[in-house]
Amino acid sequence: MTALAAPLSAPVSLTRRVVAPATLILLGLVCVLGFGMYAKHGDASFGFSQAFAKVTVPNLDLPARTTCYVLGGLSVAIGVARGLVPMGKLGRRLSIAAVLFFFVICLLCWAQAGQPVPFSVVNLLQGTLAASIPLVLGALAGCLCERSGVINIAIEGQLLFGAFAAAIVASAFGVLFVGLIAGALAGALLGAILALFAIRYVVDQVVLGVVLNVFAAGLTGFLYDRVLSTHQNTLNSPSTYPPVKIPVLGDIPIIGPVFFDSTLFLYLTFILLAAVQVSLFYTRWGLRVRAVGEHPTAADTVGIRVLATRYSNVMIGGLLAGIGGAYLSIGSAGNFSPNMSSGMGYIALAALIFGRWTPFGATLAALLFGFTTELASVLSTLNVPINPYLLSMTPYVATIIAVAGLVGRVRAPAADGQPYTKS
């Protein structure tokens, strides 16, 4: 991953200082000339409460065209200011966030104007969190691996293995929790294979990760054709975890249904995120892991078991990715289908880079990618005049733009991807 991040670590060039403001201005012009001029007459209505909610929030009605003109003009002004006035890191990030927020609002106003039913903001946020669960868990898996110095390109394969094992075991035993454990162990198994070849046999870690992804896709696809497709009712029809509403918290307007009325997987993701963040940065274990990822020779000198640390972290990371895979089958779809991860492992890897190899940063990036996925899905239901294939490309385009243009200067752990041989 050091090799992947190296081109992004160069000083900001004149071209980049010109491209960033120009991009912000372009987004503002799209809001004005595209969404504003072609929006239907009337208001765009946004709802913030679900049906039968105990506490309701009034709908927000915005004049579609006027909103697009105003927010588009503000975006152009921010882009001009970005080009003329030197800004610090915080100012640059806030300018990007503001323009992207304005762009999304204008897009929704253009799509929602004239619709008879208000646009549900709560449903959009719920879908964002649901779509982000495997991305967050995959990014946490990558964070644990790369903080110890092992590149994990195999997140995609670990998601697939986890989904496959969870679907079969949950269907065979009729117990969802057993399926969840099986999915986690399947991801850990692929992590153990990654660790064995990367650490013991010093195989190129990027190539190894790609090979494991192809292996996982081929094996699960083959077993699906030979086993699951012929025993669909007995081996590929697990139930899914139902939503669990937390009393009192689940009734809070807007945030209650989003954060406190979901499945076990969302709560488990919260717990694992906090555990990884605290463990990596506030415990002796985490200090040793980071030491191994930054300077393994020095860590070995003071008595830290470098290879053992890398083995354990890669397998723990595989376990987390396996849980994310289990979500795909027993937490969402209710069955396994070939290649159902659909590149989520690679997006999780991009979220890890975008989040600068920190758990919370990677989670925020994963939420951004999850939002684009859910937004594309919502827009397709609104019958907007955009080709559905273009809408399905949205998460991947956002990934490319984020990593190539928005991530800025990043630095991977110094020993990331570098084999260690004890002298």
User: In the predicted model, is pLDDT for residue 210 greater than 90?
Assistant: yes
pLDDT value of residue 407: 59
Determine the average pLDDT of the residues in 270-292: 96
Residue ranges of the domains in the chain? 2-120, 130-406
Residues 60-81: pLDDT tens digits? Answer: 999 999 999 999 999 999 999 9
pLDDT value of residue 11: 47
Q: Which fold has domain 130-406?
A: ABC transporter involved in vitamin B12 uptake, BtuC (1.10.3470)
d(C-alpha 133, C-alpha 257), whole Å: 16
User: In the predicted model, is pLDDT for residue 6 greater than 50?
Assistant: no
Phi/psi zone of residue 417: left (φ > 0), alpha (ψ -120 to 50 degrees), beta?
Answer: left
* pLDDT, averaged across the chain: 90
Residues 343-396: pLDDT tens digits? Answer: 999 999 999 998 899 999 999 999 999 999 999 888 888 878 887 778 788 777
Determine the average pLDDT of the residues in 20-29: 90
87 — pLDDT class (breaks 50, 70, 90): confident
Determine the average pLDDT of the residues in 115-125: 91
47 — pLDDT class (breaks 50, 70, 90): very high
pLDDT value of residue 404: 64
pLDDT value of residue 381: 83
Determine the average pLDDT of the residues in 275-303: 95
Determine the average pLDDT of the residues in 396-421: 78
Residues 384-399: pLDDT tens digits? Answer: 888 777 878 877 777 7
Select the more confidently predicted residue: 187 or 113: 187
d(C-alpha 92, C-alpha 19), whole Å: 13
pLDDT value of residue 403: 67
Residues 229-278: pLDDT tens digits? Answer: 888 889 999 999 999 999 989 989 999 999 999 999 999 999 999 999 99
d(C-alpha 145, C-alpha 292), whole Å: 11
- Nearby residues of 377 by Cβ (< 8 Å), 6 or more positions away: 127, 391
Could you tell me the two tokens for 62?
């915005």
pTM comes to 0.92
User: In the predicted model, is pLDDT for residue 401 greater than 80?
Assistant: no
Could you tell me the two tokens for 30?
């799209």
